[in-house]
Amino acid sequence: SAAEKGGWSSFMAKEVAEEPEAVANTILGRVKDGQVVIPELDGMDELFAGVQRIIIVACGTASYAGQVGKYAIEQWARIPVDVELAHEFRYRDPIVGPETLVVSISQSGETMDTLMAVKEAARLGAKTLSICNTQGATIPRESDAIVYTHAGPEVAVASTKAFVAQITALYLLALHVGRIRGTVSPAEAARSIHELEALPEKIRWILENEQEHIEQLAHWMADTRSVLFLGRHVGFPIALEGALKLKELSYIHAEGFAAGELKHGPIALIEPGQPVFVMVPSPRGAATLHAKVVSNIEEIRARGARVIAIAEEGDVAVLPFADEVLRIPLAGPIFEPILAVVPLHIFAMGLANAKGLDVDQPRNLAKSVTVE
Give the strand order in the sheet containing 53-58. Answer: 81-85, 53-58, 100-106, 127-132, 145-148
Binding of residue 116 to ligand G6P (CB under 6 A): no
Closer of 67 and 106 to ligand G6P (Cβ): 106
Closer of 65 and 280 to ligand G6P (Cβ): 65
Site string for ligand G6P, 35-64 (x = CB under 6 A): ------------------------xxxx--
Site string for ligand G6P, 152-171 (x = CB under 6 A): -----xxx------------
Binding of residue 26 to ligand G6P (CB under 6 A): no
Closer of 139 and 311 to ligand G6P (Cβ): 139
Closer of 60 and 200 to ligand G6P (Cβ): 60
Choice from 25, 67, 100, 108 touching ligand G6P (CB under 6 A)? 108
Closer of 110 and 324 to ligand G6P (Cβ): 110
Q: What's the chain look like in SS3?
A: CCCCCCCCCCHHHHHHHCHHHHHHHHHCCCEECCEECCHHHCCCHHHHHHCCEEEEEECCHHHHHHHHHHHHHHHHHCCCEEEEEHHHHHCCCCCCCCCEEEEEEECCCCCHHHHHHHHHHHHCCCEEEEEECCCCCHHHHCCCEEEECCCCCCCCCCCCHHHHHHHHHHHHHHHHHHHHHCCCCHHHHHHHHHHHHHHHHHHHHHHHHCHHHHHHHHHHCCCCCEEEEEECCCHHHHHHHHHHHHHHHHCCEEEEEEHHHHHHCHHHHCCCCCEEEEECCCCCCCHHHHHHHHHHHHHHHHCCCEEEEEEECCCCCCCCCCCEEEEECCCCHHHHHHHHHHHHHHHHHHHHHHCCCCCCCCCCCCCCCCCC
Binding residues for ligand G6P, total number by CB under 6 A: 15
Q: Which of residues 213-272 bind ligand G6P (CB under 6 A)?
A: none
Minimal distance, residue 130 CB to ligand G6P, in Å: 10
Minimal distance, residue 157 CB to ligand G6P, in Å: 5
Binding of residue 107 to ligand G6P (CB under 6 A): yes
Binding of residue 369 to ligand G6P (CB under 6 A): yes
Choice from 25, 26, 114, 192 touching ligand G6P (CB under 6 A)? 114
**Cα 220 to Cα 350: distance, rounded to the nearest angstrom:** 10
- Inter-axis angle of helices 186-209 and 211-220, to 10 degrees? 60
- Please name which of 58, 127, 74, 130 lies closest in space to residue 97, comparing C-alpha atoms: 127
Binding of residue 276 to ligand G6P (CB under 6 A): no
Binding of residue 111 to ligand G6P (CB under 6 A): yes
Minimal distance, residue 174 CB to ligand G6P, in Å: 20
Among candidate residues 5, 247, 355, 367, the one labeled active-site is 367
At position 329, the amino acid (one-letter code) is P
Minimal distance, residue 205 CB to ligand G6P, in Å: 26
Minimal distance, residue 303 CB to ligand G6P, in Å: 33
Q: Is residue 202 among the annotated active site residues? A: no
Closer of 149 and 282 to ligand G6P (Cβ): 149
Assess contact for 331 and 197: CB atoms under 8 A. Answer: no
Which residue is closest to ligand G6P by CB?
60
What is the total residue count of the chain?
372
Minimal distance, residue 102 CB to ligand G6P, in Å: 15
Closer of 66 and 329 to ligand G6P (Cβ): 66
Closer of 100 and 107 to ligand G6P (Cβ): 107
**Cα 277 to Cα 313: distance, rounded to the nearest angstrom:** 17
Binding of residue 128 to ligand G6P (CB under 6 A): no
Minimal distance, residue 68 CB to ligand G6P, in Å: 14
Residues recognised as catalytic: 367
Residues in touch with ligand G6P (CB under 6 A): 59-62, 106-108, 111, 114, 157-159, 365, 368-369
